[in-house]
Amino acid sequence: MAVVPYLPPELWLRIHDHTTTVSGTLDPDIHFHTELNGLYDDPGKYADSDINASLRQAQTTRRWLPLVCKHWYEMFIHRLYQSVIFEGDDALSSLTCALSTPPRIPGAPPLGHYTERMDILSDFTNNSLLVSKGTEYMLERGLATLFGSCPRLSILVITFRAPEARISPSMMGALCQNVPNLKVLQLRNISLRSTDTEALLRSIPDLRILACYHIAFPQNHIDSANIPYLPLHTVAFSKLSRPEFIQSGSLPQLRSLVLHGNAFFTDTRNETFLRAVGATLRTIHWDVEDREKIQLWVSQIGRHCPNLERLVLSVPEYAFFDPEAFPLPLELELPPVTCLGLRTAAPGPARSRFTQDARYEHIWSFLTKIHGLAPSVSTVQFLNIGARHKEELEDVPSGLSHIKFEHYYRLAQS
């Protein structure tokens, strides 16, 4: 009979983490992942379904491992709900009950004490939660109990199916009162009113990453007199309201900005926001759409962001590898950044046929021109690239050998 070799618990825990953790989804990895790749899935335009599928698979694996034997139960049970993903309000009470229940280990705290990340997927298009005041009250109590059972919760992702939805007062109340240790808040397809934004910044003192579809800033100027410490490092959005209420120094720790589409630039009032926060920015991610005005808006970035080090331009994959559809002008004048990121957005089913005959010559021509127009660029990053392009993109022409190239591929091949 074969003898199973003894492995120390520390090694088993490493194996557990390797098989049940989705890369870039937990603290502290999520901060590096966000800085590198941005948060392009928030408006729903490029829905991050692969991440959700991976989170569900990891959650299923964590459920099975403690059932193997008593020894594994004692080692792994406290990580059962390290990351939680659930859909709809029907699961609210059962999940809260599970998180409030301690494991069968004497003296162990409830399982929710180990929860670090929570993903809530909601479809409010036909949902009674938004109808009656009584139900709103019940929802707020339910969410407050759920969040309260997870004192170490640091990452919260809420996705609404309906586009441009507004977060309900009940959910906002539960957020502001029960997640004081939150560092990352992603509100996909959700618009924040000015009162929402102010409440979040006041009640969540360690918030580092805030992403939503539409953000409005409060009339009460955000500064150190009103909110003593604002650690906000990254903000991601498609639309912005009331930019005039952000003054120079309002967001002193802001280093990264993620812009979805052209809506930010087409509203000329938003230049005041860029003027106010530009001095502290080190990275800007931009999901480009309009080829004709790219140079105008890149110049605006350069004018207001004197300390910018990295500019990431995101392009649909079908357009990136098609010289006819490639949206970046070949003679694009960049600010004096040291790093240029070129990110491809994964194609949807309707666009997948466009990537069958990918071409690359125009990409190298573009980068050759960039070197002449922006000699400060010493590093080029290819981000979120389909693995099938690996051989061609790593075969860098000799004329670009002076530039350092970094390649980051999608886990799901396309």
Q: What does the pLDDT profile of the chain (414 residues) look like in tens digits?
A: 555 567 788 888 888 888 888 888 999 999 999 999 888 654 344 345 678 888 889 999 999 999 888 888 999 999 999 999 988 667 788 899 999 999 989 989 999 999 999 998 876 444 444 444 545 556 677 888 999 999 999 999 988 877 778 887 888 888 899 998 999 999 988 999 999 998 998 899 899 999 999 999 887 666 655 665 688 999 999 999 988 888 888 889 999 999 988 889 988 889 999 999 999 999 999 988 777 889 999 999 999 999 999 999 999 888 999 999 899 988 899 999 999 999 998 655 445 445 557 899 999 999 999 888 889 999 999 999 988 899 999 999 999 999 999 999 986 544
**Per-domain boundaries in the chain:** 21-30+44-203, 319-340+347-414
* Of the candidates 43, 34, 48, the residue with the CA atom closest to the CA atom of residue 208: 34
| Amino acid letter for position 103 | P
Contacts of 248 (CB under 8 A, 6+ apart): 275, 276, 277, 279
CA dist 365 and 342 (Å) reads 14
Check: CB of residue 154 under 8 Å from CB of residue 181.
yes
* Encoded tokens for 38: 């941005």
- Residue 218 confidence (pLDDT): 82
Q: What is the pTM of this model?
A: 0.89
CA dist 322 and 286 (Å) reads 20
- Residue 226 confidence (pLDDT): 64
- Residue 261 confidence (pLDDT): 85
- Residue 229 confidence (pLDDT): 64
What are the distances in angstroms from CA 10 to CA 15, 76, 105? 9, 11, 19
| Amino acid letter for position 298 | V
Backbone conformation region of residue 38, classed left if phi is above 0, alpha if psi is from -120 to 50, else beta: left
